[in-house]
Amino acid sequence: MKMVYRSSPVRGHACQLGEQGMDPAARPIFSSIILGSGTLAIACAQLAMEMGHVIGAALCTDAIFADWAARANILRIANVEELSTLLNTEPVDWIFSVANPLKLRPDVFERARQGAFNYHDGPLPRYAGTHATSWALLAQETEYAVTWHRIDDGVDTGDVVVQRQVLIAPTDTAMTLNLKCYEAAIEGFRELLTGLKIGKLTAYPQALVNRSYFPKRRRPDAAGYLRWDRSAQDLSAMTRALDFGPYHANPLCLPKALVGDEAVAIRRLEVLPRRSGFPAGCLLEIHSSHWRVATGTQDVDVCFGSSDGQVLDARALARHSNLDEGSRLLILGDEQARSITATHELLAPREDFWRRRLEQFRILKFPFLSSSLSDAPPRWQSSSGCIPSALAKLSQNDCTEYLVTAWLIYLARITGETELQLGWKPAACGWQADFKAVEVLVAPAVPMEVTIDLARDFEEMRKAVAAEFAQLREHGSFARDLVARCPTLRGVEALRSHRPWPIGITITTDSCSVDGDLKTSHRAGSALCGDLLTFEVCALDGSFRWHFDASRLAPKQIDRMTQHLQTLLHGVMADAGQPVGRIELLPAAERAYLLEELNRTAAAYPSERCIHELFEQQVQKAPEAVALVFEDERLSYGELNARANRLAHHLIGLGVRPDQPVAICLERSPAMVVGLLAILKAGGAYLPLDPAYPCARLRQVVDDAAPRLLLCDAAGRAALGAEALADVSVVDLETVTPDWAELPACDPDPRALGLTARHLAYVIYTSGSTGTPKGVMVEHRGVVNLGLAQIGLFGVGSNSRVVQFASLGFDASAWEMIMALGSGAALHLPADELCQASARLSHYLRSQAITHATLPPALLQAGRNVEYLASQALILAGELPKAELIRRLPAASVINAYGPTETTVCATTWTCPADFDGSVVPIGRPIANTRVYLLDGHGG
């Protein structure tokens, strides 16, 4: 029996609202408050203002309405308590509730001087409650209505003042019917406002005997699983009632089919005019776009969708599920359907909680990965169980809390993340996954959230973990299709997997001290809630173990973590009051290995030598060997030394002394190298200025370092500007007949100059990315140690060709120069324009047969293909290279060099092995005579 709704009220039980008998032109402007959300609340508020209402305030229950209210300069109220406070001081004529999920108390709505009204998106009293449009479609109604009613102390029970009819078409979905209701709501509101204005609005009580109420937690039969023995019309109604479109959240469930071991979303279902006569659930035809399935009545064509809303290839789905034409799909029985519905309704009230958490989804990056092949099939392994001796005297409950708290502290310490979100294996709170439809309905892992404050003590962190345990127990889990139903979550790819979080925690009643192998366990799939690693704790005996993907996480790392956790627990029991960021993690043996063994880098080197003396040694060995190549110009070691010596004697005559900064600002050219060597030979500390830098930046450096002497060319003059040049003595290296042309070509005697290896070689300024650029003063002995260490590590010799890529303003330029000129190699200077494009640089490196190159990863990232970089060693420096880049570089040896300029350019190096498949590129081991300590923010 279908319902018929009339837009005019029943007069027999009517009462009149509004100011009767008053001249409309003489009526005062109404003051109103709008409560609600979304664009419907906005449309109603705008209509009210057009019809003479002043919106005194808006109680906004979503960001859309709140943003509009802010732009409209309307006072925004956050909750009902604020509304109540406002009404104590600001009288209002009308309160209008539009798409408002909040219930008003009588002491609030009764303060509206003229009345309070609510919009309901269904015909009252037949469809009270939530999601009325979907319930009407499921009931296969053909006529419908929306209602404006007075607010009373019930839910959707107040007197009806306006009801607008809406017709339901056979093809209507929840989305299209909601759009019809949207338009009817606005027209109904116009009718309401008009009636209030002229005083001719009629209200009539609802016939509550005919009332049907649909609570928010109620869910469709079998959680939207299609039951193929039902009529085709029922299946169509289910599919359309749960179709809210691609842009709106689906508050109920997805229509779905149980296909094999998976629940597959139904995107569209079409009822055919004929009936095949085959048994219900029989798969009649398989096409790429759809399946044809027999039902209790006519056949239907079914199209499937993925969890991110895309169309699924139906033929591929059939192959994946081992289904052929003639196969029968599972048909749920009544008892199974009731169990599924009950489970779904148990989960329903918790969805908002989980949705908010999922919207904060974040992945914890685990530092111990041995492989980056995340798409490789997992190789699950389990560690041996362990009962921590440190917790032997604790109760079972305390032991569990201590273990989990310690593990979370450990994660915060090793990852540097204090806001942790991990996977949690929920207990079955009221539902039984005793058949597949229920199992695939419930999310197997939920987000656990804990903030670890490393400055707090262990007991405070344990209380935070205990509070989170209580939250997790209270909220259980959520329906797995929640992610696909929320536009804010649908695009997060990781959330569409069974185990979105790489790290998981599960509390069991099975002892972890019993060895197990997940590869052969039937519980493997359900026991794990971490995609990489699951920490399992037994609540009965306090044992724990790890389940991990051995293709990405090596067993030796698991053993290390076990030792670290044990050490941390012993530290807690010894001193629970210390900040958790200071608790010792490392066993004594590992601590000694990391701090002492790896730092045994002492090596003999000529610590009394200066940089230029290494160069002069090579001059003595092979004066005719090529030292410098720039375009068509080649300088031998003897020629380069002679030029540098003449200029050095000139600088000495100008008063250059040890530790005195001498600025140098030139374009790439042989003169640049001559100038650098001359400053060093004269005893000065060169201050590099790149003419490509902005004038203001260069002036900042010059003002701070205060050099008295400047070596430059035309480009340097132009870059610095006349004002800066006025403050220094300038030596122009482009002079055709320089003053030093006839000076001696012999090496200046460093002893006569008072120059030692402890004097400054250069002063270089940081980029200033964290504030004002600061000058770093670097001594000769540090650069000599670096140069000789790199010459040995990289195999640089007299037959090598080293490219000078780095700008003069970067410390890597010192590295490149000493590596070449300190070993007898040839230093090649490419023109500036060649250094800006990887393809052109690659051509240059090939044409010059470069053996050693130091390049920034940024030049080579983003998939740029380079055919040649260096035949012997490619050193990456300046930033962290990506693992994918390392694997595709065409070089015999790839080295990652790391170190801040304060450590003399480079502190550590790592040579990539041929079989490298890691996800993070290591910084490697310290170079000779260098010690490295890795500390967290708490000094640990």
Instruction: Evaluate whether 303 touches 268 at the Cβ level (below 8 Å).
Output: yes
Q: Specify the pLDDT at position 689.
A: 95
What is the average pLDDT across 260-270? 93
Q: Looking at the DSSP assignment, which residues form a beta bridge with residue 711?
A: 664, 731
27 has a pLDDT exceeding 50: no
Q: Specify the pLDDT at position 800.
A: 97
d(CA 536, CA 555): 16
Q: What is the 3-state secondary structure (H, E, C) of 16-66?
A: EECCCCCCHHHCCCEEEEEEECHHHHHHHHHHHHHCCEEEEEEEECCHHHH
| Residue 433 binned pLDDT confidence (cut-offs 50, 70, 90) | low
Q: Looking at the DSSP assignment, which residues form a beta bridge with residue 262?
A: 259
Going along the chain from its start, the domains and CATH numbers come out as 11-213 (3.40.50.170), 221-332 (3.40.50.12230), 351-592 (3.30.559.30), 611-926 (3.40.50.12780)
In Å, the largest CA–CA distance within the chain is 122
Q: Specify the pLDDT at position 755.
A: 97
- What is the percent of the chain where pLDDT is above 90? 76
Tens-digit pLDDT profile for residues 869-888 = 888 999 999 888 998 888 88
d(CA 499, CA 444): 8
What is the average pLDDT across 30-54? 95
- Least confident window among 13-22, 533-542, 859-868: 13-22
Q: Specify the pLDDT at position 373.
A: 58
d(CA 504, CA 533): 6
Kind of pairing between the strands at 908-911 and 894-898? antiparallel
Which of 19-33, 512-526, 755-769, 785-799 shows the highest mean pLDDT? 785-799
Q: Specify the pLDDT at position 936.
A: 73
Tens-digit pLDDT profile for residues 193-206 = 999 998 888 999 99
Q: Specify the pLDDT at position 632.
A: 93
Which of 173-187, 715-729, 898-912 shows the highest mean pLDDT? 173-187
Peptide bond into 125 cis (omega under 30): yes
| Residue 837 binned pLDDT confidence (cut-offs 50, 70, 90) | confident
Q: Specify the pLDDT at position 299.
A: 98
What is the average pLDDT across 615-634? 97
Q: Specify the pLDDT at position 713.
A: 95
Q: What values do phi and psi take at 334, rounded to 5? A: -60, -40
Instruction: Evaluate whether 235 touches 268 at the Cβ level (below 8 Å).
Output: no
Structure tokens at 491: 């695009």
Q: Specify the pLDDT at position 7.
A: 35
The DSSP string of 288-322 is SS-EEE--SSS-EEEEEE-TTSPBP-HHHHHHHTT
Q: Specify the pLDDT at position 770.
A: 65
Instruction: Evaluate whether 748 touches 652 at the Cβ level (below 8 Å).
Output: yes
- Least confident window among 3-12, 716-725, 886-895, 909-918: 3-12
What b/e readout covers 888-906, taking b as 16+ CB neighbours within 10 angstroms? ebebebbbbbbbebebbbb
Mean predicted lDDT score pLDDT of the chain: 90
What b/e readout covers 435-474, taking b as 16+ CB neighbours within 10 angstroms? eebbbbbbbbbbbbebebebebbbeebbebbeebbeebee
372 has a pLDDT exceeding 90: no
Q: Specify the pLDDT at position 768.
A: 66
d(CA 445, CA 461): 23
Host H or E run for residue 214: strand 213-214
Dihedral angle over CA of 369, 375, 379, 383, nearest 10: 30
Q: By C-alpha distance, which of 753, 729, 747, 726 is closest to 739?
A: 729
- Least confident window among 18-22, 473-477, 814-818: 18-22
- Least confident window among 164-168, 264-268, 467-471, 891-895: 891-895
Tens-digit pLDDT profile for residues 911-922 = 999 888 777 899
d(CA 178, CA 184): 10
Tell me the C-alpha to C-alpha distance, in Å, between residue 250 and each of 235, 244, 487. Answer: 18, 6, 9
Residue 276 or 25, more confident: 276
Tens-digit pLDDT profile for residues 506-545 = 998 877 765 554 444 434 445 689 999 999 999 888 899 9
Instruction: Evaluate whether 296 touches 235 at the Cβ level (below 8 Å).
Output: no
CB hemisphere CA count around 480 (13 angstroms): 24
Count, residues in the chain: 940
Whole-structure pTM value: 0.81
What is the average pLDDT across 635-639? 98
Tell me how far the alpha carbon of residue 531 is from its chain's centroid.
Answer: 17
Tens-digit pLDDT profile for residues 109-123 = 999 999 999 999 999
Q: By C-alpha distance, which of 162, 148, 27 is closest to 96?
A: 148
* Percent helix / strand / coil, the chain, rounded to 5: 35, 20, 45
Helices 611-621 and 780-794: crossing angle in degrees, nearest 10, is 50
What is the average pLDDT across 842-870? 84
Strand positions, DSSP E, 780-833 = 801-803, 826-829
Q: Specify the pLDDT at position 527.
A: 65
Instruction: Evaluate whether 670 touches 628 at the Cβ level (below 8 Å).
Output: yes
Host H or E run for residue 257: strand 256-259
Tens-digit pLDDT profile for residues 203-238 = 999 999 999 999 999 999 999 999 999 999 999 999
Instruction: Evaluate whether 264 touches 312 at the Cβ level (below 8 Å).
Output: yes
Q: What's at 486, amino acid-wise?
A: C
Q: Specify the pLDDT at position 916.
A: 85
d(CA 433, CA 30): 57
| Residue 418 binned pLDDT confidence (cut-offs 50, 70, 90) | very high
706 has a pLDDT exceeding 70: yes
Q: Specify the pLDDT at position 515.
A: 56
Q: Specify the pLDDT at position 835.
A: 84
688 has a pLDDT exceeding 50: yes
